[in-house]
Structure 1
């Protein structure tokens, strides 16, 4: 079964764990990049905070489907 992952500031992403998402809190740019690289092949959707999305801007991505939370 495909999974959903959430990457970004802890205060914005922690609650998604209650819904069964993989929560990857990342406050600093290096942590955001490390979380992105740690995604398993079973992750189909990644939700990013707007700050995490700015860090990953320019990363090649044909997988997974990525969406950005409103600020």
Structure 2
């Protein structure tokens, strides 16, 4: 799953990754809270990672990776 701004996550959808578009910090936090329990990896845009706070708590939720700026 990829989470963040449309322009940064759209390409992931072409590769078969579920893309969650969230342009504003509040939308990012809402999308993160609503992730299905079976999600194992979320690729975050830098802005989405910032909206969630850094560092993300370890052991809580899925594995995360942040795209290069």
- TM class by smaller structure: 0.7 to 0.9
Q: Hey, which bits of structure 1, 4+ residues long, moved more than 2 A?
A: 58-61
Does 2:15 correspond to 1:19?
A: yes
Does 2:67 correspond to 1:60?
A: no
Cα offset for 1:61? 4.6
Q: How many corresponding residue pairs?
A: 67
Deviation string 1:8-52 (CA, Å, 9 cap, x unpaired) is: 110110111122111101110110001101111111000000011
Gaps of 5+ in 2: none
3-state SS of 1:20 partner: coil
3-state SS of 2:37 partner: coil
Write out aligned runs for 1:12-51 (5 A).
12-51=8-47
Cα offset for 1:60? 3.4
Gaps of 5+ in 1: none
Q: Find the aligned partners of 1:52 and 1:14 in 2 and give their Cα distance.
A: 14
